[in-house]
Amino acid sequence: MTDRFKYREDREAYSAARVRALEALLIQKGILTDKSVDTVLGYFETKMGPFNGAKIVARAWVDPEFKARLVADTPAAVAELDLPAGMAGAEGEHMRAVANDPGVHNLIICTLCSCYPWPVLGLPPYWYKDPTFRSRAAREPRAVLAEFGVDVPESQQIKVWDSSAQIRWFVVPERPAGTESLSESELEALVTPESMMGVALAKAA
């Protein structure tokens, strides 16, 4: 074996320098511009991601009528909010929200990894596509949720929603107790992707 993977002392700085040199050269040759990286990554950082889901859930928490509309017709309700264009796009147009309440806890799973409400939840965690997770979540959701640290009381029913190419589910978690005085934007900060997948509860900060 060669020393191909032998590490330098200045490993990080060396990688950073290599990337800078490559980018500079590609810009100099007119292949990229100094905006290219920000443009493609802006899509993930500002347009499509869990911050959209957090806005939808926070609105549902402060406006029960919006919440009712959201569950009845998710795309129409989402369109009421000032979210980036494309929210109701190829995936978004089939989005469906399900709301947790004291009687029901909802959990989303998927058959294929691409079936994920990406515009509102962002990128899925690594275990989401795991066949073991998927089959166990369908078969014994209460046990799987307990392993996630979510102890669902026996009095609460668990519903498992399998996303497909037609429908992408996401969960509206229950508003945490003690958050009555928080503003809508403060509430947004309490909404995690995991809570919108149903593998966590939203918690007061």
Partner 1 sequence: MQIRFEHFAVTEMMGEPDSPPRANGTLCFTNDWERTVFGMALALAREGHFEWDEFRDELIAEIAAWEEANPVDRSGWDYYERFLAALEKAVAKSGLLDAGDMATLLADLRAA
Q: Which amino acid is at 181?
A: S
With a CB cutoff of 8 Å and minimum separation 6, the contacts of 108 are: 117, 160, 161, 162, 163, 169, 170, 171, 197, 198
Angle between helices 64-72 and 50-62 (to 10 degrees): 120
**Structure tokens that stand for 22 in this block:** 């490559």
Let me know: does 193 contact 108? Beta carbons within 8 Å: no
Interface with partner 1, residue 189, by CB under 8 A: no
- The correct pick among 101, 130, 140, 147 for binding partner 1 (CB under 8 A) is 130
User: Catalytic positions, please?
Assistant: 110, 113-115
Q: Which amino acid is at 124?
A: P
User: Judged by CB, which is closer to partner 1: 24, or 143?
Assistant: 24
- Between 52 and 91, how does the x/- string for binding to partner 1 read (CB under 8 A)? ----------------------------------x-xxxx
36 annotated to bind ligand: no
Shortest gap between Cβ of 24 and partner 1 (angstroms)?
7
Segment 90 to 129, residues that bind partner 1, using CB under 8 A: 90-91, 93, 113-114, 116, 118, 121-126, 128-129
User: Judged by CB, which is closer to partner 1: 45, or 151?
Assistant: 45
Query: How far is CA 129 from its chain centroid?
Result: 14
User: Judged by CB, which is closer to partner 1: 126, or 155?
Assistant: 126
- In the annotated binding site for Fe(3+), the residues are 110, 113-115
